[in-house]
Amino acid sequence: MRVPEILLAVVMTSLASCATVQADSPAELNDLEIAHVAYTADNIDIRYAHFALALSDNPEVHAFARTMIRDHNAVNEQALALLEKLEVQPQDNFLSQQLVENSVRLVDEMSKLRGGAFDKRYAENELAYHQAVNALVANDFIPNIENAEVKSLFQQGLEIFRAHEKHAQMMVEQLN
């Protein structure tokens, strides 16, 4: 199963640099940068979902995609409301930029696929994407978030995205 390459590279870099702190490690991001990554990751998955609704005819893929749109929008609404309450702005950072760059490449790849090939690639990516993002959130973000309300929102988000991971696994199994 392919893990989004950029996320794998980021995790590997993070593990390799345990002895010294590097500025481009996910574990070194501050709360506002982490919030920006989460908002970006949500929007990327929403984008993938709209893509799936446009290119797939599979009802299971459509049901999954609609859930992604519904849930990621709900999380983003909560995140934006919290940032407004805290009177802060999310901060762009290397990881958000890498997520966006990778998503552009993936959309280009999937746009060339149709039918079952598209469905399988979409499902495969959704599973790998959620696995990678969930690992980042659980291992690098939540332990390092300083603001209690931001941490609580991420913990709720992790529950949501773990359910998405299970749903993606079911979708992959149905399509294979």
Partner 1 sequence: MTRRNFLKNAATVVAALQVPVAQHATAQASEPVVHRVEIQQFRFVPDTLKVRPGDRVVWVNRDIVPHTATAVDGNWDTGKIEANGVAEIAVVTASTNAYFCIYHPSMKGRLELVPVDA
71 contacts partner 1 (rule: CB under 8 A): yes
Query: For residue 129, which of 79, 172, 91 has the smallest C-alpha distance?
Result: 172
Q: How far is the CB of 74 from partner 1 (least distance, A)?
A: 5
Kindly tell me which of 2 and 70 has the beta carbon lying closer to partner 1. Answer: 70
**Please, are residues 6 and 99 in contact by the beta-carbon 8 Å criterion?**
yes
Q: Taking CB under 8 A as the rule, does residue 166 contact partner 1?
A: yes
Estimate the crossing angle of helix 148-175 against helix 31-55, to 10 degrees. 30
- Quick one: 78 or 111, whose CB is closer to partner 1? 78
Position among 13, 109, 156, 173 found at the interface with partner 1 (CB under 8 A): 156
- Interface stretch with partner 1, choices 15-23, 106-114, 137-145, 163-171 (CB under 8 A): 163-171
Q: Which of 16, 18, 57, 70 binds partner 1 (CB under 8 A)?
A: 70
Buried b / exposed e along 50-63 (16+ C-beta atoms within 10 A): ebbeebbebeebee
Radius of gyration, alpha carbons of the chain: 16
Among 7, 75, 106, 133, binds partner 1 (CB under 8 A): 75
Residue nearer to partner 1 on the CB measure, 2 or 66: 66
Question: Cβ closer to partner 1: 44 or 75?
Answer: 75
Cβ-based burial of 157 (10 A; exposed 0-12, middle 13-18, buried ≥19): buried
Residue 80 touches partner 1, criterion: CB under 8 A: no
User: What six digits make up the tokens of 20?
Assistant: 């010294």
Written as one letter, the residue type at 7 is: L
16: contact with partner 1 by CB under 8 A: no
Q: Is 25 left (phi over 0), alpha (psi -120 to 50) or beta?
A: beta
Kindly state the number of chain residues that form the binding site for partner 1, as judged by CB under 8 A.
16
What does the binding site for partner 1 look like in residue numbers (CB under 8 A)?
Answer: 63, 66-67, 70-71, 74-75, 78, 156, 159-160, 162-163, 166-167, 170
